Structure 1
Amino acid sequence: MTSRLLLEYDGTEFGGWARQPGRRTVQEDVERALCTVLHEDAVALTVAGRTDAGVHAWAQVCSYAHEAVDPLSLNALLPPDVAVLDCNPMPDGFDARRDARSRTYCYRVLHRRARSVWLGRRALWHARALDVGALQACAAALVGTHDFTAFTPAGTSHTRLERHVHAARWSRDGDVVEFWITADTFLRHMNRVLVGTMLEVATGRRSPEAFTALLAGRPRAEAGATAPAHGLALASVGYAA
């Protein structure tokens, strides 16, 4: 018996998705609630996308080997910054991570002179001029298969550093500029380093051509800074129809 959970959470107060000693994590909070509802000593969750400390999720997907439960029962036990949106039975063997075909992330930049009370924990505040056209050119260069060595920490545990990007774009809605990217999988910190480097292009500190050259497996030291975690959210996970 296998079930699928759909979650959303504000990552601000979490040390990330995965359990780790001495830190509050999303996995630990949700597994604890599941154990209570299911009257089990342990329930193990498999997650589609392991988010880092401070990263949010609008539609995280998890699977576990037990019956489906009422989301309201779980939400009654969960803290205000994490919520179960849905819970459904799935065919035996469904695996939220292995069966996922794509993940989509969104990074938000608040582009205005004044900071925001409401978006302060969910968007990077950037008060200086931005060349949105340059951002869009960088995003267009990401589509396809590339070596993203420059966009993940040196000494990473990943053995395969190529990723296939299905779609990438920047868009603007009022004061908020958003970077949307869909890929098969992502390297650690990949989206945040991409954003940090593209912002260098958009502020004239790096050329679009220099950004594109990084996609040929250049070393991490040649890319830009890692953008703060609070602007990033896992937006959706794609599965075969």
Structure 2
Amino acid sequence: MRNIKLTIEYDGARYNGWQKLGDTENTIQSKLEKVLSEMTGRKIEVIASGRTDSGVHALAQIVNFKTNINMSTKEIRRYCNQYLPKDIVVKGIEEVDERFHARYNAKSKKYLYRIRIGAIPTAFNRKYTYYVPNYLDIEAMQKAGSYLLGEHDFKAFSSVKSSKKSTSREIFEMDITKEENELHLLFHGNGFLHNMVRIMVGTLIEIGEGKRTPESIKDIFASKTRENAGVTAPAQGLFLYEVFYD
């Protein structure tokens, strides 16, 4: 049995997220599995590095699936890109060890969040940026970002309902850069809880607007209460940027 690893780029704007659902086929996973199953003549189930929510994009989602099909990796990639919707693209493909698991072997991930700033919104990037018309104090946001670094209990920065699983995560890197009329917020961590990045972004935006102080991050951590953090930033600005393996 061959184990095939795919690197996928997708525009999540019109999909109900990554994970296939019982009541709709309008998910990235459903579209990919349909094409792979038609290609192989057998039902294919794919494993992803993680789920992305409705409206969230990916620059490098990692997926693996197993098959006995006698096609080269180039032929598989060509077939996928011919029959997948044009907003889902297989960028890379390789045959890997049979033990490789896209989810369980992932060591860390990077997420990018794009914020449009300035007096004028954009007509063309509205699906890929979150427009904030208010002035943002980038220096205050960067200071607040420094308090997110390291290992913490991120329960207050998540939509996790269950208290059974650990909500401790480690953020290795948090950078904010300005590129023309956009702010790019890059988060690198060993794992992310549901809506964790979007809630961190929403909190940093409120700090940039002067509604909170950078030091309030410490109080949010201590509270372990979702209501004490900022709003959940919209999905369209979020991209799964990179997944790291050994």
TM over 0.5: same fold? yes
Q: Give the TM interval when normalised to the shorter protein.
A: over 0.9
| Deviation of the 1:59 alpha carbon | 0.4
CA distance, structure 1, for counterparts of residue 15 and residue 163 of structure 2: 22
Does 1:51 pair with 2:57? no
Q: How many positions carry a matched residue from both structures?
A: 239
Q: Which amino acid aligns with 2:124?
A: W
Does 1:113 pair with 2:119? yes
Alignment TM-score, normalising by the size of structure 2: 0.93
| Deviation of the 1:208 alpha carbon | 0.8
Runs of 5+ unmatched residues, structure 2: none
SS in 1 for 2:13: helix
Q: Please name the residue that 1:7 is paired with.
A: 8
CA distance, structure 1, for counterparts of residue 147 and residue 127 of structure 2: 29
Q: Which amino acid aligns with 1:45?
A: V
> Residues 10-49 of structure 1, C-alpha deviation per residue, up to 9 Å, x if partnerless?
0111111001123310000001111111121x11111002
Q: Which amino acid aligns with 2:28?
A: V
Runs of 5+ unmatched residues, structure 1: none
Does 1:148 pair with 2:154? yes
Does 1:137 pair with 2:143? yes
| Deviation of the 1:84 alpha carbon | 0.7
SS in 2 for 1:215: helix
| Deviation of the 1:93 alpha carbon | 0.9
Change in Cα spacing, 1:174 to 1:45, as seen in structure 2 (3 Å) is same
> Residues 154-209 of structure 1, C-alpha deviation per residue, up to 9 Å, x if partnerless?
52476110001111111111111011001111100000000001111100101111
- Mapped contact 1:49–1:103 kept (Cα < 8 A): no
RMSD: 1.3
1:11-160 alignment, distance < 5 Å:
11-23=12-24, 24-40=26-42, 42-66=43-67, 68=73, 70-153=76-159, 155-156=161-162, 159-160=165-166
State, as a whole percentage, how many aligned pairs show the same letter. 30
Alignment TM-score, normalising by the size of structure 1: 0.95
Q: Please name the residue that 1:225 is paired with.
A: 231
Does 1:203 pair with 2:209? yes
Q: 1:163 aligned to 149, 163, 169, which one? A: 169
SS in 2 for 1:117: coil
